[in-house]
Chain A
Amino acid sequence: MLSQEFIRNALLAGTFVALACGVAGWFVVLRGQVFAGDALSHVAFPGALAAAAAGVDQRIGLFVATIAVGAGIGLLGRGVLAHGSRVTAGASPTDDTAIGTAFTFILGLGVFFLARVSMGSAGASGAVGAHTLFGSIFGLSAGEACLAALIALTTTLLILAIARPLLFASVAPEVAGARGVPTRLLGVVFAALLGAVAAEAAQALGALLLLGLLTAPAAAAHRFSRSPFAGIALAAALAVVAVWGGIALAYAIPALPPSTAIVVLAVTLYYASVALTARGVGLPHR
C-alpha cells in the first residue's frame, strides 16, 4: 500500500491535517463553538466557488473566506451578540442563532457564484462543487501534499503557542479578563486560525465532512480526560488514528470514499468513548 505515491501523499497531508483538526477541535468543543466550526467549514464552499468564478486559485478563495468569516464570528461572538444576562465560557445558543442566519446568507452567495461558474463552463461547476464539498485526499500531488502538511503544521503550532492564555480565557473569561488576558483578541485570533484549519481540511475531507474530524475526536478526548494538555494530545492522536485507519480502509475497499471512511471512523471513536465513559472508564463526569 505504501508503495503507491497517492497513498504516501494522502498520509503525509492527512496526518498533519488530523493534528491540526484534533488540536483546534479540542478548543472548539471546550468553547462550545461546534456550530461556528460547522459554519466555517461550509463557508469553504462559497469561497472556492467565488474563486472559481473570479478565475483565481481555489485555495486562495478557501482561505480568504474561512479566515474572514472566522474573524467575523470571533469579533461578533462575545461582544455584540451575547450581551444578555447569560455569561458562559464560549458560545451560547444565541450565538448559534446569529451564526445560522449569517451562514445561510453566505451559502446563498455560494449558489449565486455557482450560477456564474456554470454559465462559464458546463462541467466545471459539478467538479468544483464535488471536490469542495467532499474533498479529494487521494487526488493530491506531492507538492500539494507538502504544502498542505506545512500549512497544517504552522496553524497547529500557532494554536499551541496561544494555548495557555486561550485555555484561561475559555474556561474563566471574567477572571482572565481581570488578570489582563486579552480574551476578545484571543477569541478572534483563535477563530481565524480555526478558519485556516477548516480551509486546509476542506481540501482533504471536503466542506461538508471536515466537521467530523474537527469535533468527533475532540469530543471523545473531552470525555476521557479533563486534563487540558493530555486532552489536546489525545484529541490529536485520535484524529490521526481516524485518518490513517480511514485511508487504509478506503484503500482496501475501493467502493468506499476515503473521506467517508475517515469520518465514519472518527464518529465511531466518539460513540465508543460515550459508551466507555458511561461504564466508568476514564474520569468521572460532571
Chain B
Amino acid sequence: MPAELANPTLSFNVAHDVGELLEYHFMTNALLAGGIVAVMAGVVGWLMVLRGEAFAGHTLSMMAFPGAAAAALIGIPGAWGYFLFCGAGAGAIARLSGREHFSWSEQSAGIGAVQALALALGFFFLSLYGGVLGDLESLLFGDLLGVGDGQVLLLAAVAVVSVSALALLARPLLFASVDADVAAARGVPVRALSLAFLLLLGLTVAATSQITGVLLVFALLVAPAASAQALTARPLASLLLTIALGLAIVWLGLGIAYFSVSPAGFFITTVAFVVYVLARVTAAAHARLARADPPAPAQEPCPEGVIA
C-alpha cells in the first residue's frame, strides 16, 4: 500500500504532487499498464457497447474466476486458465447469438446460463483445490499497483494484437454491428464476425483481468464507451473520446488512490461512474435544448441512434 511507503499528502502545488507520484517505479508501471488497458479496453469496449453486448462482456470477464481456479487446481500458470476459459466462453456465447431465431431476451438468458455454469464450475474447482477465497479483492479489482515490467510488456503485446486485429476488421465489423440484416444481405459474414469479435473481447479481457481484476476490466470496457456514445453519435469522434475518457478515468483514479488508503479499484470505478452520469446528464440537457429550439437542424445527440 502506497501510504506506508511514502506517507504522501496533497499540497496545493499540482505539479509537485504529480512529480512525487512519478518518483516510484511501481507507480510509473501502474500508470503505464493502466494506460495500455484504458486504450485497449476503450477500443474493444466501444464496439461492445455499439453492439449491445455489455452482458456478454461482463460474462466473459467473469470467466477469469473459473480460469484462475482451474489453473490453480491442475497446477498450470494462471494466465493459461484465463485465456482458456475466456476463449471457451466466447465460443459458447457466439453459438447462442448466432441463432437468428433467438430473440434478444432469449440470448441474454442463454448468456446468463453460460455465466452461471462457469461460476458454478469455478466454485467447484475452488472447493476441490481446498483453498479458501483468500484474496477476494485482487480477484475483483486486481493489483494495478503491483505490476511488474514483464507484465507491462505482455499487456502491450496483447494490446497491439487486439487493436490491430480490430483495425483490420473495422469496416465490415462496424457495418455488421450497426445493421446486421443489411450487412448479411450484402454478403458480409455476420456470424463469423460476431465470433471473431467475441474471441477478441475474450482475449482482451483475459489479458487485462490478470492485472485489473474481474470487475475493473468490465468498468473500463463499458463506462468510457457508454459515456462517449452518449455525447456524440459520430463514430470516429466517439471512439477518440472513449480512449481519452478511459485514460482520464484510470490516471485520475490511480492518482487519487496514491494519496489515500482505500483501494485503487474503488476510486477508478467511482470516477468512471461519475463520468458516465455527467455524460448522460449533458446528453439529456442537449436533447432538451434541441427540442426547445426547433429551427436548428436535426443534430440530436441521441445515443440510441447509434445502437438502433
User: Which of these, A84, A206, A256, contacts B305 with CB under 8 Å?
Assistant: A84
Are A208 and B119 in touch, CB under 8 angstroms? yes
Point out the residues of chain A lying under 8 angstroms from B304, CB to CB: 82-86, 94
Q: How far is the CB of A119 from chain B (nearest CB, A)?
A: 9
Question: B24 contacts the other chain (Cβ, under 8 Å)?
Answer: no
Question: A130 contacts the other chain (Cβ, under 8 Å)?
Answer: yes
CA distance A108 to B268 in the complex (A): 8
Question: B168 contacts the other chain (Cβ, under 8 Å)?
Answer: no
Point out the residues of chain A lying under 8 angstroms from B104, CB to CB: 32, 88, 92-93
CA distance A261 to B66 in the complex (A): 15
Most chain B CB within 10 A, of A80, A214, A216, is at A216
Question: A114 contacts the other chain (Cβ, under 8 Å)?
Answer: yes
- Stretch of A56-64, A95-103, A153-161, A181-189 lying at the B interface: A95-103
Point out the residues of chain B lying under 8 angstroms from A97, CB to CB: 49, 52, 54, 222, 226
Are A90 and B226 in touch, CB under 8 angstroms? no
CA distance A259 to B126 in the complex (A): 13
Question: B113 contacts the other chain (Cβ, under 8 Å)?
Answer: yes
CA distance A37 to B113 in the complex (A): 12
Question: B223 contacts the other chain (Cβ, under 8 Å)?
Answer: yes
User: Which of these, A96, A104, A109, A264, contacts B120 with CB under 8 Å?
Assistant: A264
Are B109 and A85 in touch, CB under 8 angstroms? no
CB contacts under 8 Å to A, within B235-283, are: 262-263, 265-266, 268-270, 272-273, 276, 280
Are B269 and A286 in touch, CB under 8 angstroms? no
Write out, one digit per residue, whether chain B residues 115-159 have a CB within 8 A of any chain A CB (1) or not (0). Answer: 111011101100110001110110011000000000000000000
Question: B42 contacts the other chain (Cβ, under 8 Å)?
Answer: no
Are A209 and B116 in touch, CB under 8 angstroms? yes
Question: A225 contacts the other chain (Cβ, under 8 Å)?
Answer: no
Question: B219 contacts the other chain (Cβ, under 8 Å)?
Answer: yes
Are A108 and B270 in touch, CB under 8 angstroms? yes
CA distance A212 to B114 in the complex (A): 9
Are B117 and A34 in touch, CB under 8 angstroms? no
Instruction: Given A107-B215, A219-B110, A219-B113, decide whether A101 and B133 contact each other with a Cβ distance below 8 A.
Output: no
Question: B171 contacts the other chain (Cβ, under 8 Å)?
Answer: no
Are A260 and B112 in touch, CB under 8 angstroms? no
User: Which of these, B51, B109, B223, B268, contacts A219 with CB under 8 Å?
Assistant: B109
CA distance A97 to B222 in the complex (A): 7
Are B54 and A104 in touch, CB under 8 angstroms? no
Are A130 and B132 in touch, CB under 8 angstroms? yes
Number of B residues with CB within 8 Å of any CB on chain A: 63
Are A100 and B58 in touch, CB under 8 angstroms? yes
Instruction: Given A130-B132, A267-B113, A286-B103, decide whether A100 and B54 contact each other with a Cβ distance below 8 A.
Output: yes
User: Which of these, B113, B127, B216, B262, contacts A112 with CB under 8 Å?
Assistant: B262
Are B113 and A216 in touch, CB under 8 angstroms? yes
Write out, one digit per residue, whether chain B residues 85-117 have a CB within 8 A of any chain A CB (1) or not (0). Answer: 000000000000000010111101111110111
Q: How far is the CB of B230 from chain A (nearest CB, A)?
A: 9
Number of A residues with CB within 8 Å of any CB on chain B: 69
Question: A255 contacts the other chain (Cβ, under 8 Å)?
Answer: yes
Point out the residues of chain A lying under 8 angstroms from B119, CB to CB: 208-209, 211-212, 263
Instruction: Given A104-B218, A104-B222, A260-B123, decide whether A34 and B132 contact each other with a Cβ distance below 8 A.
Output: no
Q: How far is the CB of A190 from chain B (nearest CB, A)?
A: 15
Question: A257 contacts the other chain (Cβ, under 8 Å)?
Answer: yes
Instruction: Given A101-B276, A260-B121, decide whether A212 and B55 contact each other with a Cβ distance below 8 A.
Output: no
User: Which of these, A90, A107, A266, contacts B116 with CB under 8 Å?
Assistant: A266
Point out the residues of chain B lying under 8 angstroms from A263, CB to CB: 116-117, 119-120
**Residue in chain A with minimal CB distance to B267:** A108
Are A101 and B137 in touch, CB under 8 angstroms? no
**Residue in chain A with minimal CB distance to B122:** A208
**Residue in chain A with minimal CB distance to B141:** A111
Point out the residues of chain A lying under 8 angstroms from B216, CB to CB: 104
Question: B289 contacts the other chain (Cβ, under 8 Å)?
Answer: no
Are A86 and B273 in touch, CB under 8 angstroms? no
CA distance A37 to B111 in the complex (A): 12
Point out the residues of chain A lying under 8 angstroms from B284, CB to CB: 80
Point out the residues of chain B lying under 8 angstroms from A115, CB to CB: 137, 262-263, 266
Are B109 and A218 in touch, CB under 8 angstroms? yes
Are A222 and B106 in touch, CB under 8 angstroms? yes
Question: A31 contacts the other chain (Cβ, under 8 Å)?
Answer: yes
Are B223 and A126 in touch, CB under 8 angstroms? no
Interface residues, chain A, CB within 8 Å of chain B?
29-32, 34-35, 37-38, 80, 82-86, 88, 90-94, 96-102, 104-105, 107-109, 111-112, 114-115, 125-126, 129-130, 133-134, 206, 208-209, 211-216, 218-219, 222-223, 255-257, 259-260, 263-264, 266-267, 270-271, 274, 285-286
26 A-B pairs, CB-CB below 8 angstroms? A32-B108, A34-B55, A34-B105, A34-B109, A35-B58, A38-B58, A38-B112, A84-B305, A85-B305, A86-B304, A100-B54, A100-B57, A104-B216, A104-B222, A105-B219, A107-B140, A112-B262, A133-B136, A211-B112, A211-B115, A212-B117, A219-B110, A255-B127, A257-B123, A260-B121, A271-B113
Question: What 4 pairs across the A-B complex have the smallest Cβ distances?
Answer: A84-B304, A93-B52, A212-B116, A108-B269
